[in-house]
Structure 1
Amino acid sequence: PLKHKLSDYLENLQIIDKWILSRLNTCIKEVTELLESLEVNKAAKTLFNFIVEDVSHTYLRFIRRRVWIEEETLDKTVCYTVLYNVLSNVLKMVAVFTPYIAEEIYQHFMRDEEGLESIHMCDWPNVNESLIDKQLEEDMEIMLETLSATIDARKRKGFKLRWPTLETIIVPFNERTLSAMKRLEQLYAKAANTRKVSLMNVGEYPDFAKFKIEPNYGSIGPKYKEKVPLILKALNKMDAREVITKLYKEGKLEIEIATKEKIELMREDINVSQELPEEYGYSESKYGIVYVNCKVTDEIMAEALTNDIIRRIQAMRKDLKLDIEQFVKRVTIVTPEKKYVKLLSKHAEYMKTEVRAETIEIVHKDIYVSVKDKMKHTYEKEWKINEEAFIIGILV
């Protein structure tokens, strides 16, 4: 904190850094106002949501790879400086609600040689209005909702987030959503683990999507009674894509029935269903529809299997109680099929970096049987990955 000041790195911030700093200052502003109006419970909830949702679930997830690299790069320093600024200000606010825990953290984490004797002697955080970007905060909300829909689409197809997808297609319901997703497309692509993001224009849909619309009788029946058959007839004459575009964009649809009477239908009055090719999953949020291409190619299989194995190795490192930065001498991966040796070998260097290994050896199980006695391991374990048995050994 003495060496690296946030003000020195404002020109080097990435968009996710700008977002968390904006959210921090918005949080300080809101918590301050709530405490001044004696709404203590709301203040505590606001602070809790910021810590859990914004810092832990979002910011830390997005910066993991930036701080995981070995070299002391400028970007890594920026990351740590931003994170320290966020956590130190949060801690000063937390001290109001949990004074003893905050003091303990302050003494062991935040206090430097020039620091005050107690966190309770520190000033309450000031709001830096210049760091608040409301449009960015709204853009991130749209992106995160779209990401949530993407994850839901994957789940519907049984496609894990660790598995990359060939393409994700986003159909925005309005221009605001389109603008936000264009701005945050790269951030979204990494979080969604997709090779390609295709943003449709408002009112456009992929050619493969076949829509079907029909009245929600439980909704329109009580409202329109004997007019329901006329509404159904009018809907059948309309283009399904035009109907859903108006519904999603405006939240309502005006139709003219045979009696020349105009009927206003709301989103809940119409059921929308789709027929899609087998490889596509889809979901929707209040901002748009997401289509995910879940076709598995050899390249996708290699990357997905690599991520699955990395997760198992990390679990084994945890079992061994290794420090995060500690390197192991060798990791051996024994595959059940020969094709996996070739697929995984393409990502060997990446695995070495991710699991902190000096050497990665990938062998088929038949070869491993003949050399097993020569390959000593500190820890060896068999894992089931996609119903197949892989053996992983670690030499510390």
Structure 2
Amino acid sequence: MSNWYVRRSRERFWAKGMEQDKINAYMTLYTALVTVSKCAAPMIPFMTEDIYRNLVCSIDKEAPESIHLCDFPVAEEKFIDKKLEEDMEEVLKVVVMGRACRNAANIKNRQPIGTMFVKAPMSLGGFYQDIIKEELNVKAVSFTDDVRDFTTYTFKPQLRTVGPKYGKQLGGIQKELAALDGNAAMDELNEQGMLKFDINGTAVELSKDDLLIEMVQKEGYVSEADNTVTVVLDTNLTEELVEEGFVYEVISKIQTMRKEAGYEVMDHIEVTIDKNEKIAAIVRKNEAMIAGKVLADKMVSGAAGTSDEWKVKNWNVNGEEAVIGIRRV
């Protein structure tokens, strides 16, 4: 049971009607909540009792009247899929690092990105790559054995260890390290365990303990790394990607207005875009997609009507000021 599981199941919960997949999603969540509550009952007795009464006693009059009268859950080992757990753990790690890259680049999640490169001990299949693409709004995920085209390393001496050994040569060591080819130096360090060079006739040998190592990204790329995984986002945005970012921003603004107006999920609306021809043109070009997302029967450029049924709001859409109007039809 985790926030990640609930997040990944949202579309199943929100699906129209009551298809079998939606029923399965609800029953899985229900079973997990009840089982976790029973497991946690000895530690948090009052909270789990409240959850149990809401979830179980309210619908099953034959159930024990208290969670503390229930049998303790028994693990069904046949349902354990270690490979699935390991793969999903890897997916979650990549997604978390990808979000960190977006934050570092100050790119909102609604702005699509072209490609993300991943260096990891294992490559994930298409099913898992689709999850990563959806979560991070990237068009492609590429697993690679080498990210040196996008990243490099910088080295500085660790003064507390290098100072006592090479005190007089410290200035020369700093200059030598600053001039290194970062990727080549990192390869040498990993293969030989040492960086070796000469400073004014003095042989210098530096291990990882003697160095402050930082991975830096080349222009147009943002990276995050831990001990086993490196993630690189290509932050170069094409005109098509930028336009798509505007589309998702407009959709988000309209959905916010629907919520603020108190419209029901299935209510259809009419939309107007005013005071910004650039936004209006993007909306016209992508009208079918936007209309489908926000349930708009009609989308027009120009001012909204003057009746009270129109809800109008000024918005900043990725730096562009526009006025959006909606009304229920």
TM-score range, shorter chain: 0.7 to 0.9
How far apart are the structure 1 equivalents of 2:148 and 2:218? 10
Change (3 A) 1:321 1:195: same
C-alpha contact 2:216 2:223 (8 A) present in aligned 1:
no
Residue 160 of structure 1: CA displacement? 0.3
Measured in 1, the distance between the counterparts of 2:210 and 2:22 equals: 48
**Aligned residues: percent identity?**
23
Q: Indicate if the aligned counterparts of 1:381 and 1:393 stay in contact, CA closer than 8 A.
A: no
Q: 1:254 maps to what in 2? A: 194
1:106 matched to 2:52? The reply is yes
Maintained 8 Å contact 1:284/1:290 = yes
1:351 deviation in Å? 4.2
Where does the alignment leave 5 or more consecutive residues of structure 2 unmatched? none
Instruction: Pick closer, same or farther for the CA change 1:349–1:115 going to 2, 3 Å.
Output: farther
**2:183 is matched with which residue: 216, 222, 241?**
241
Shift, 1:170, TM fit? 1.9
| Residue identity opposite 1:170 in structure 2 | V
Q: Does 1:67 align with 2:20?
A: no
- 1:88 aligned partner: 34
The question of whether the paired residues in 2 share the 8 Å contact of 1:93 and 1:125 is answered with yes
Distance 1:275 1:70, change over 3 A: closer
Match of 1:391 in 2: 324
Q: For 1:183 and 1:329, locate their aligned partners in 2 and report how far apart those are by CA, in whole Å.
A: 33
> TM-score w.r.t. structure 2 length?
0.79
Q: State the number of aligned residues.
A: 323
Which AA in structure 1 matches 2:97? A
1:302, 1:71 → 2: CA distance?
33
| 1:134-163 deviation digits (Å, cap 9, x = unpaired) | 454344333323222222222222210121
CA RMSD of aligned residues (A): 3.7
Partner of 1:158: 106
Tell me the CA shift for residue 196 of structure 1: 0.9
- Map 1:192-203; keep pairs closer than 5 Å: 192-201=136-145
What residue number does 2:68 align with? 120
Judge conservation of contact 2:116–2:232 (CA < 8 Å) in 1: yes
Change (3 A) 1:182 1:244: farther
Length-normalised TM-score, structure 1: 0.67
How far has the Cα of 1:83 moved from its partner? 1.5
Q: 1:88 to 1:271 in 2, by over 3 A?
A: same
Q: Report the equivalent of 1:170.
A: 118
Encode CA deviations 1:57-104: one digit per residue, 9 max, x unaligned: x11222222333325444333322321221121222343344344333
Task: State the alpha-carbon separation in 1 of the partners of residues 105 and 51 from structure 2.
Answer: 43
Stretch of structure 1 that moved more, 219-228 or 137-146: 219-228
Gaps in structure 1 of 5+ consecutive residues = 1-23, 25-54
1:76 equivalent in structure 2: 22
What displacement does 1:389 show?
2.6
Instruction: Provide Cα deviations, 1:297-338, integer angstroms capped at 9, x if missing partner.
Output: 343234323332333334334434455xx3223141414433
